[in-house]
Structure 1
Amino acid sequence: MFIQPGRRFVPAVVLAFACGIAAAMEPATTIPLDLPAAIALAAERHPTLQAAAYEEQASAAAVEQAGRLPNPELAYLREGHRAGSRTTTVQVNQPLELGGKRKARIAVAQGAFDLAGSDLALRRQALRADVIAAFYTALVAQERLQLAQAMLDVAGKSLAAVDGRVAAGKVSPVEASKARVAQADARVEHERATAELAIARNALAALVGEPLDARPLAGGAVDMLPPVEPLPALLQRSAGALSVRRARQQLAYRTAQADAERAARVPDVTLTIGSQRDDQLAHRQAVVGVAIPLPLFDRNAGNLAAATARAEGARAELQAAERAAHADLTTAHLRYGQARGEALLLEHDVVPEARSVHELTLKGFEYGKFTFLDVLDAQRTWFQARARQWQAMLDAWRAHAEIERLAGAAHTDTH
């Protein structure tokens, strides 16, 4: 059957298009997830940030509302019921705020708006620190699982070597029992590491807002740990820490509330303008009046005293926040330096040396120069060094996240 060239091209295009759609619909779960991507996903999807953003929007609307003037009042009054003898009055009452009440009200609303912005920034920074900790907890759990798998493989090779020497009559069968116990311990450790990885990945998935499934995590080299500024420079930046900034804005908010309560002690004036018609006189006359409350019983003293006390409390909280930021930043800097130094030492010196000792001990055991207890001891030392290396790196990343949270403006607006 003869097919024209133009018709042969159509099925090829359709097939290529279908293959492209299938490839596009295939989930890209094999793409590694790195730390910046995890932070970006969490900042975009986490509900705590969305709730704080809505609160900031509500506070902005409250600032606009606080600047509105009070509405006038339209009043109608009729005296008498008989036509020809009744009096009808129509008037407009306009409250006039005195004592700077409107300005004070706007200041209070602006203070609440600033606090909402600080809360949003604090939640963003806290979420960033949580993502960093969760990411590297999952990454360390991933490496520990690989370490447990390597330990299980080594335990299997050790058992095979011991069985060979037992079969040759060179060692006691007790050595084979010890090797089986070591293999069972390695299997238990592998199962524990598997469960810990699942838990860590689930915690990270809850933060980034999507299931990770089998998606690998990218990163982990100790050399990737970023350097931090010297401690004196960080302590100078601690004055701009988000916690200190929020405490300062809280003080401004409480002070504005005290000013608003102080302004409320000044009575407002109500201006009345209207028209009155008297049917008996058959004419209309203007009505003008002024109403002033007499502050005889309520001078707003209690509310003013309460607002002033809260302002003093906010000033004390500001001092506490400054001290806490200084102390916490010093502690985080020291922890970071210690953990990073330990991780570098373990990676470059201790772990390679421990691995070399284990390999030499295992080879020497095969030639009868060492006992199996020596092999187990060298194996345990090697894997403990690897585990300490990853734990030190996790501690360093957690301390680095704390430094970023405390030091101020480095990542205040991270999205």
Structure 2
Amino acid sequence: MVLPLAFCAVNQVQAGPALGLDQLISIGLNENAYVMASREQVAAAKGDATTARAYPNPDVGGQLGRSKERNTLSPLTGQTYNITMAQPIEIPMVRSARIDAADEIVKATDANRQSFEDDTVARIKLAYYELLRRIAEASASEEDLALTQQIRDRIALRHQVGESPKFDLIRADTEMLNARKNMNAAKLRVEQAKANLRLAVGHPLPSGWQVQGSLPKSVKLPPIETLKAELLARNPILMKTEAEQRAAEYRLSMEKSMRLPKIALVAEREVDPTQQYSRGGVVMTIPLWDWRSGQISKAKAEASSTRHQLNAQRLSFAESLEATYQLYQIASNQVHVLETELLSQAAAAQRIAESAYRYGERGILEWLDAQRTYRAARNELISARFDLATVSVEIDRLRSISNAPSDPSLPTTPAGSSQLPDL
């Protein structure tokens, strides 16, 4: 028996477009409002970096009035005015540290955007595979109901001719009711999974949409050491913390440099009815009382905090990757064993029990038990393939390739289809 690749619409509605995983990811990355907001935060950080590069504006001032000589027989009167301009001169070390810190904040913000997009893609993939799982389960439950209906009709016919007791018919009716209940529950889970996928995408999908694709039969991953190297080099959360650490170091350097005297060039021109003056000079702010000890202590603490946080994250992600890789190995082994051994044996046992019942060598209980065993093995295979897909999604998220297109040339390659082996 074969589990169909696609599952027809749960309710009889007009068929809509079939969306693949890449299409759903594209919609989520290009239309999701939260993703758009995270990208605008990067633009805002770039604006702050531009501000950090700006030179200080000069201060210009002036005064206007009247003057009159005193103690003279013929006093001169007239207007007086003066104009002053002060141009602050930045300390080069302060300016370069401020610019470098702003650039690192841009990198940190962009890494945070990448992390959010990776999480968004991972949620879409998980919801997509969850929907495929529920579709496969619903399709299997429909197949179970059809088979149970055939068994019930056959037993009812044998009961009418006196070849089967009433107990067998009652048991078959019970099994059919249970199969119908499971099918209805499976259909509801499909609708719930579709709602979760719409929520993960974060944008309305076309009316009557369906999904196309399949649960992976196998996933190829590089060795664990290669995955660790990729994680340390590309994980956006680590990149964000590294950028924040560098920014904190630059801020500490800036605070220390700001203890140096500040200089401003001053120019002045003054005119009265009898004379005019032009002056130039320098104004220096001497750090006599405030040596910025509080600001420097705060910057040191922030730099130390981000350094400890980075070390903790590296350890945490490495341990998480190892644990997830072990789950990947377990899931891969479960899929292999179920496909190559358990499912085929359960199907063979079901056929033997059916033949034995048909020839009167076994009762209805043995046949129904064999059928339930096959159903359990088939459902375990669907769950194992789903677990394998979710583990691969988590590993891709950790090494930040979650938004890569589904291409067979990629290191992580879902292979095969969601069809069960032909039995």
Q: TM-score by structure 1 length?
A: 0.85
- From 396, 406, 410, the counterpart of 2:398: 406
Q: Per the alignment, do residues 79 and 292 of structure 1 end up closer, same or farther by CA in structure 2, a change over 3 Å counting?
A: farther
- How big is the shift at 1:285? 0.8
Q: Hey, what does 1:355 align to over in structure 2? A: 347
1:181-206 deviations in Å (ceiling 9; x for gaps)? 22222122111111111111122123
Q: Hey, what does 1:55 align to over in structure 2? A: 41
- Counterparts of 2:238 and 2:299, CA distance in 1: 21
- Give aligned-pair identity as a percent: 20
Does residue 166 of structure 2 align to residue 173 of structure 1? yes
Q: Per the alignment, do residues 412 and 361 of structure 1 end up closer, same or farther by CA in structure 2, a change over 3 Å counting?
A: closer
- How big is the shift at 1:395? 1.0
Which stretch shows the higher mean deviation, 135-144 or 377-386?
Answer: 377-386
SS in 1 for 2:268: strand
SS in 1 for 2:19: coil
- How big is the shift at 1:214? 4.3
- Counterparts of 1:115 and 1:175, CA distance in 2: 69
Q: Does the Cα contact within 8 Å between 2:248 and 2:302 map onto a contact in 1?
A: yes
- Counterparts of 1:236 and 1:149, CA distance in 2: 46
Q: Hey, what does 1:322 align to over in structure 2? A: 314
Q: Does the Cα contact within 8 Å between 1:99 and 1:264 map onto a contact in 2?
A: no
Which stretch shows the higher mean deviation, 121-130 or 357-366?
Answer: 357-366
**Which residue identity lines up with residue 332 of structure 1 in the other structure?**
T
- From 294, 298, 302, the counterpart of 2:286: 294
Q: Hey, what does 1:36 align to over in structure 2? A: 22
Q: Hey, what does 2:211 align to over in structure 1? A: 217
Does residue 54 of structure 2 align to residue 68 of structure 1? yes
SS in 2 for 1:100: helix
SS in 2 for 1:226: strand
- From 190, 193, 197, the counterpart of 1:200: 193
Q: Per the alignment, do residues 373 and 58 of structure 1 end up closer, same or farther by CA in structure 2, a change over 3 Å counting?
A: same
Q: Per the alignment, do residues 81 and 159 of structure 1 end up closer, same or farther by CA in structure 2, a change over 3 Å counting?
A: farther
* Correspondences of 1:239-388 after superposition (within 5 Å): 239-240=232-233, 241-279=235-273, 282-388=274-380
Q: Does the Cα contact within 8 Å between 1:99 and 1:263 map onto a contact in 2?
A: no
How many pairs were matched up? 384
Q: Per the alignment, do residues 414 and 158 of structure 1 end up closer, same or farther by CA in structure 2, a change over 3 Å counting?
A: closer
**Which residue identity lines up with residue 255 of structure 1 in the other structure?**
E
Q: Per the alignment, do residues 80 and 101 of structure 1 end up closer, same or farther by CA in structure 2, a change over 3 Å counting?
A: farther
Unpaired segments ≥5 residues, structure 2: 1-13, 69-75, 407-423
- Counterparts of 1:29 and 1:147, CA distance in 2: 21
1:89-127 deviations in Å (ceiling 9; x for gaps)? 211111112262221221121111101110121122222
1:376-407 deviations in Å (ceiling 9; x for gaps)? 21121111111111111111111111111223
Q: Does the Cα contact within 8 Å between 1:355 and 1:382 map onto a contact in 2?
A: yes
- How big is the shift at 1:239? 1.7
**Which residue identity lines up with residue 303 of structure 2 in the other structure?**
A
- The CA RMSD measured in Å over matched residues stands at 2.4
- From 107, 110, 118, the counterpart of 2:111: 118
- Counterparts of 2:374 and 2:276, CA distance in 1: 105
**Which residue identity lines up with residue 51 of structure 1 in the other structure?**
A
Q: Per the alignment, do residues 81 and 102 of structure 1 end up closer, same or farther by CA in structure 2, a change over 3 Å counting?
A: same
- Counterparts of 2:18 and 2:404, CA distance in 1: 25
Q: Hey, what does 1:188 align to over in structure 2? A: 181
- How big is the shift at 1:138? 0.4
Q: TM-score by structure 2 length?
A: 0.84
Q: Per the alignment, do residues 344 and 222 of structure 1 end up closer, same or farther by CA in structure 2, a change over 3 Å counting?
A: farther
Q: Per the alignment, do residues 34 and 341 of structure 1 end up closer, same or farther by CA in structure 2, a change over 3 Å counting?
A: farther
1:330-383 deviations in Å (ceiling 9; x for gaps)? 122111121122123222332233223223323322332222221221121111
Q: Which has the higher helix share?
A: 1
Q: Per the alignment, do residues 152 and 81 of structure 1 end up closer, same or farther by CA in structure 2, a change over 3 Å counting?
A: farther
- How big is the shift at 1:323? 0.8
Does residue 226 of structure 2 align to residue 233 of structure 1? yes
Q: Does the Cα contact within 8 Å between 1:165 and 1:366 map onto a contact in 2?
A: no
Which stretch shows the higher mean deviation, 162-171 or 123-132?
Answer: 162-171
**Which residue identity lines up with residue 315 of structure 1 in the other structure?**
R
